[in-house]
Chains A and B, each alone.
Chain A
Amino acid sequence: MTSSEGSRALRDPPRAKGSGVAAADSLSGRRRGRLSADATFRLILGLAGASVLLILATMLISTTIQAWPVFRHEGWSFITSSVWDPGTSRTEVTGQYGALAFIVGTLVTSLIALVIAVPLAVAVALYITQAAPRKVAGPLTYTIEMLAAVPSVVFGLWGLLFFVPKVLRPIMNLVESTLGSFIPFLSGPIVTYNYFAAGVVLAFMVLPIIMAVTREVMANTPETEIAAAYGLGATRWEMMRHVVLPRARPGIIGATMLGLGRALGETIAVAMLIGGSQQIPSSLFRGGQSMAGIIAVTFQEAAPENVKALVGVGVLLFVITVIVNMAARLIVWMTGGYLAKEQNL
């Protein structure tokens, strides 16, 4: 209850209220006359909604059935072992399939991407909505959102041939030589394509989506509250800190989770940059593999039993994505409630 109030207050600026009421009135007037059309329309929408659930359920069930022999053969070691040694049988499961290294690869690179992208996206969104002159804000928004249209294979190629060896490698060398001796996960020896390289390029890829949502939320800060903050003598920074940021927090968290969803599922760019090793590295500067990556690169030459295992990795990725999404809803709901409570005080 409280959370929905909070988010409604966020979405509806006060001045829009009058027109909204008028629109609702005219709609309900129409509805009285054409009940059957309305019912049909509702049915069609309901079917559309159900079809999504049906597709999702079909996918999950059919992939799980397909991967079942591997799940049964491996048991828990499918997610606790990192020995991935595919067999070549057509009918039975003869290899060893432990996907832990790929789970770690997916989670760690996604985390690196968020650690870099979220602060950057929030800063850029603050700048665009609160600080930038109008002439700059428009083109800047447009440019960043254009990043979202770049195909991921282009990001991968750019990272593979230019960005990682020419720009990132010197930075990694510097970090390793200064911090590597006492922070174990930044220690050498460095290989050029690694967790860190994949994570940084992934950050560029999730930046536009996080930035776009955050900017939208920040732009909806009620101007009355901004004016009130200034009226109380707040500086621009204090206004952002006490009005814009708290208001935008649920939106930022939601945007982060959207970005995380994209990062978890990103395939080709990560596969090209993560280093392609099946080990769990002890340092961010060593290679590994992600869940989507192992499916993409080994599927083509995989024997039937290996394909089952790869489908199993797909199921696992699906489950992890669902868990992440549920966690996201929970966090948004909790912080939203917190915000509403704060307002009541």
Chain B
Amino acid sequence: MKPSRLIPLMIALALVATACGGSGTTTTAGSTGTTGSMQADLLGAGASFPAPIYQEWIGAYQSVEPGVSINYQSIGSGGGVEQFIGQQTDFGASDAFLKDDEIAAAQAARGCDPIHIPTVFGAVSIAYNVEGLDSLTLSGPVLADIFVGTITNWNDPAIAALNSGVTMPDEDIVVAHRSDGSGTTSIFTTYLSSVSDAWKNGPGVGKEVEWPAPNSVGGEKNDGVTAQIQQNPGAVGYIELSYAMENNVPVAKMINDDGNAIEPTLESTAAAADGITIPDDLRFNILNVGGEGYPIAGATWLLAWSCGYDQAKADALKAWITWDLQNGDDLARELLYSPLPDSLQEKALAKVDLINSEG
């Protein structure tokens, strides 16, 4: 019995050995070219919002560089930044750029600068649940007043004025928000603060803030907020655009700085990112959007170091991120992320070159 059971195992082992040998030879052969030559293990952790596209890019990159193995753990931006600064990962990922005190801590920890590389954009859509209301237009100040709690009924004249020709019902507004800390909340509150002093001086900006509206409910993650919106008549809340599109949730048009009412789409998100001025360190918020741009949007970043990698890791990391930025746009659109506009892609690629530039 025993030997007969061993034979298939031995054959299998032999096959695996040949297969390994085979790939080994192709690797050596490929080392003269530009692809298939690298060997490195990269570990990254951070934001959950871009995790699906990062996983997709990592999977696709496997066929380009089989020797590079990348492990991305979606543990949240907060943990991602902590582990990045704590040197537990090779690269980090965050929905919010590092604040000045985080940069100082990072510099102290590694002795060189952290690098911000924006990868994709996401938009935050305003979803609502009002019976018989097929289309809704809101402006930034009105949206802020709803979330501050000064507008509490759908028939408020301020809402009616933006929706002429539509009869707004006499119904209490239920404000739905994220109950967990979230980059989506950060983008949303950054926008509200930029359009409303009452919001700026009240709850302010953050991944988690106080929600002053009297009739407010919270949900965990996008699906929790969506459940809150769908189960509470009169509800309005904010969710990631990709989530709203996948689940066919009705969303409001937002009036941007040029006075245009813009529906949230991948195109209008890309348009928002195209028209803004971006600082040299690529730490930016998307604010004061005009033209055809949808006004509530934000970027997500990969974080890397300008020193301290061994050469193989640095080469692999640079090659992977470069590949993502140059070849990953279609995959990003498929997963309902908005890729970087060309002008910004150039700047992002220049940042990739800085990885390990200080040795």
Contact = CB atoms under 8 A, between A and B. Distances in A.
B211 A189 contact: no
B75 A193 contact: no
A45 interface: no
A284 to B, nearest CB: 14
- Chain B contact-residue range equals 35 or more
B240 to A, nearest CB: 15
B231 A165 contact: yes
A193 B208 contact: no
Nearest to A161: B227
B217 A277 contact: yes
Interface string B199-227: 00000001111110001111110001001
Contacts of A279: 211, 216
Contacts, number: 101
Interface in B156-197: 172, 174, 177-183
Contacts of A287: 216-218
Interface string B42-68: 000000100000000000000000000
A271 interface: yes
B105 interface: yes
B6 to A, nearest CB: 41
Given A192-B232, A300-B79, A271 B220 contact: yes
B210 A85 contact: yes
Interface string A81-105: 0011110111100000000000000
Given A83-B210, A302-B78, A193 B220 contact: no
Nearest to B215: A189
Interface in B96-115: 99, 101-102, 105
B228 interface: yes
Nearest to A169: B231
Contact of A89 (B101, B220, B231): B101
Contact of B174 (A84, A90, A191): A191
Interface string A276-310: 11110000000101000100011011111010000
Contacts of A205: none
B217 A289 contact: no
Nearest to B77: A301
B298 interface: no
B34 to A, nearest CB: 39
A275 interface: yes
B215 A191 contact: yes
A86 B227 contact: no
Contacts of B218: 275-278, 287, 289
Contacts of A161: 227
Most buried by A among B76, B79, B102, B180: B180
Given A272-B224, A300-B75, A193 B82 contact: no
A304 B217 CA distance: 26
A275 B183 CA distance: 20
B97 to A, nearest CB: 12
Interface string A295-339: 001101111101000000000000000000000000000000000
A166 to B, nearest CB: 10
B276 to A, nearest CB: 24
Interface of A: 83-86, 88-91, 160-161, 164-165, 169, 189, 191-193, 271-272, 275-279, 287, 289, 293, 297-298, 300-304, 306
Interface of B: 48, 75-79, 82, 99, 101-102, 105, 172, 174, 177-183, 206-211, 215-220, 224, 227-228, 231-232
Name the 3 nearest CB pairs between A and B, nearest first: A276-B218, A276-B179, A301-B181
